[in-house]
Amino acid sequence: MSMTLFEADLTLPLFGRGKVRDTYDLGDKLLIVSTDRLSAFDVVLPDPIPDKGLVLNQISCFWFEKTSQVMPNHLITPIDTLDSLKQHLPPNTNLPDYLLGRSMITLKAERVSVECVVRGYISGSAWAEYKQAGTISGTPAPKGLQESQELPEPIFTPTTKAEAGHDEPLSEKETENLVGKSTARELEEKSLAVYQHARDYAQGRGIIIADTKFEFGFVDGKLILIDEILTPDSSRFWNSDQYTIGRSQPSLDKQPVRDWLADSGWNKEPPAPKLPPEVIKATTLRYVEAYQRLTGRKLQNVSS
Ligand SMILES: Nc1ncnc2c1ncn2[C@@H]1O[C@H](COP(=O)(O)OP(=O)(O)OP(=O)(O)O)[C@@H](O)[C@H]1O
Ligand SMILES: [Mg+2]
């Protein structure tokens, strides 16, 4: 029913185009469309990955529903039918089928410009820093940790939301200076609470959420979760079965692409090379499997 989508083409004002999502401005609301674009090493690949946008959108919706008791969020409704779409878009907007299953209507918030990173396991940039300096995000960490090891407690390691270039770690004081003391405390508490809730659930389904990133915003003076949450694009998801301490872990979703890119000799500068069809197929399968394993649901509106 649905089809592969590289770029949305709605007759609505654009709020922003990211690496993966195209967001439209509906005044006090947003329409967030997850395309099938895939980024690796911060570069968008030229090939769409069929059904990836469905997976990302439906995983986010799943978590928004599941965690709303822990922290309210921006989701108004997922877009699953043409009727729900019509209801939320202004008259005379084009209503392409490709939106079904890959988009949601949300509240528009005043964004808090902090990337709220939570780490339950030591990996990626945190592992690189720890190996070199014994610290994580500038704070001394327990001695003797191995790569990918679970931390004694999940930690909050916020960063700036850089418009260009790399996000920089924020100390507690810096976060307070940016957003105020009480908001800083709320960001930390809620980020940890939502992460722990999701981590415990995912563990029961054989998936490790090693780390993740949240964004928050204000609506009518109240802090809510915005953006996407707990997707493979905003988190590290590992397969519990394959988890081995002391090395980097294969990615649950993008590993076929990463492996192929590594073998291709690509220098990680744009443009990225085109992927062979079998790598695209394997990657779609990984995303769909991750979705079904995590949620126990069947993906809606799949193309094949
Ligand atoms: N409910 C919301 N209200 C206001 N802004 C939001 C809301 N949800 C998400 N946003 C913002 O909309 C933007 C969505 O952009 P998106 O994530 O697609 O691209 P990006 O962050 O610019 O780049 P990248 O693809 O690298 O993440 C982000 O800046 C995010 O903070
Ligand atoms: Mg983003």
pLDDT, tens digit, 9 for 90 and up, residues 16-34:
999 999 999 999 999 999 9
Number of other CB atoms surrounding residue 207 within 10 Å: 22
212 C-beta closer than 6 A to ligand 1: no
Contacts of 150 (CB under 8 A, 6+ apart): 120, 121
Mapped onto helix, strand or coil, the DSSP state of residue 100 is coil
What is the total residue count of the chain?
304
165 residue type, one letter: G
Cα distance between residue 180 and residue 174, in whole Å? 9
Q: Give 53 Cα–ligand 2 centroid separation in angstroms.
A: 14
Which neighbouring-strand residues pair with 14?
24
For residue 86, the surrounding DSSP H or E stretch is helix 82-88
Percent of the chain with pLDDT over 90: 93
The H or E element that residue 239 is part of is: strand 235-239
pLDDT of residue 162: 80
Q: Do the beta carbons of residue 87 and residue 113 sit within 8 Å? A: no
CA distances (Å), 147 to each of 207, 212, 239, 251, in order? Answer: 18, 17, 16, 15
pLDDT confidence of residue 119: 98
Residue type present at position 170: L
Average pLDDT by consecutive 10-residue portion of the chain (304 residues)?
87 97 98 97 95 97 98 97 92 93 98 97 96 96 97 97 85 96 98 98 98 98 98 95 96 93 95 97 95 93 68
Q: How do residues 206-227 score in pLDDT, each as one tens digit?
A: 999 999 999 999 999 999 999 9
By most ligand atoms within 8 Å of CB, the mutation choice from 39, 73, 77, 111 for ligand 1 is 111
Distance 13 CA to ligand 1 centre (A): 15
Query: Best mutation site among 212, 218, 220, 227 for ligand 1, i.e. most ligand atoms within 8 A of its Cβ?
Result: 227
Q: What pLDDT does 163 receive?
A: 78
Question: Global pTM?
Answer: 0.96
User: What whole-number percentage of the chain has pLDDT above 70?
Assistant: 99
Q: What distance in angstroms lies between residue 225's CA and the mean position of ligand 1's atoms? A: 12
Q: Is the beta carbon of 29 within 6 A of some atom in ligand 1?
A: no
Instruction: Write down the pLDDT at residue 2.
Output: 56
Residue 247, amino acid: R
Which pLDDT score is estimated for 304?
54
Task: Give CA–CA dist 302/237, Å, rounded.
Answer: 22
Asked whether 266 and 257 are in contact (CB, 8 A), the reply is no
Q: C-alpha angle with apex 162: 159 to 163, nearest 5 degrees?
A: 160
Q: From CA 101, how far away is CA 51, in angstroms rounded?
A: 10
Going from N- to C-terminal start, the domains of the chain cover 14-108, 110-242
Q: In Å, what is the CA distance from 7 to each residue of 15, 33, 300?
A: 14, 9, 20
Question: 74 in ligand 1 pocket by Cβ < 6 Å?
Answer: yes
d(C-alpha 207, C-alpha 251), whole Å: 11
Top-tier CATH class for 110-242: alpha beta
User: Mean pLDDT over all residues of the chain?
Assistant: 95
| CB burial string 94-123: b at 16+ within 10 A, e below | eebebbbbbbbbbbbbeebebbbbbbbbbb
Q: What is the predicted pLDDT for the residue at 210?
A: 97
Burial 72-84 (b: 16+ CB within 10 A, else e): bbbbeebbbeeeb
Domain 14-108: give its CATH superfamily: Phosphorylase Kinase; domain 1 (3.30.200.20)
